[in-house]
Amino acid sequence: MTPVTAENITRHELIGLDARISGGSNKSQKRIKGIIINETRNTLTLNQKGVDKIIAKGDASFIFNLGGTLVEVEGKNLIGRPEDRVKKKPKRDW
């Protein structure tokens, strides 16, 4: 399996990653951080100290800790069924 990097995080499996909310429309969610335990088309579920928190992908931005490297991703770039998102081809920047 290919390791998760800053370049491929939007096309990679997110369950098991350490994440925190860095911004979004709901300011009370900004303090949430934990391990991603579930993912649906529009939500991520983070386990924070034994409590599950469901976060809408489209309303937040996330910072993922990839072994010491912090990567910030807009939640709207993660929207989609996980099994379809990992197959998606990257967009070209030209």
CA pair distance 44, 3, nearest whole angstrom: 20
Radius of gyration, CA atoms only, the chain: 13
Domains of the chain, first to last = 9-85 (2.30.30.210)
Q: Which amino acid is at 71?
A: V
Across the chain, mean pLDDT equals: 87
Q: Is the pLDDT of residue 92 over 60?
A: no
Q: Which residue has the higher pLDDT, 52 or 87?
A: 52
Q: Which pTM value belongs to this model? A: 0.85
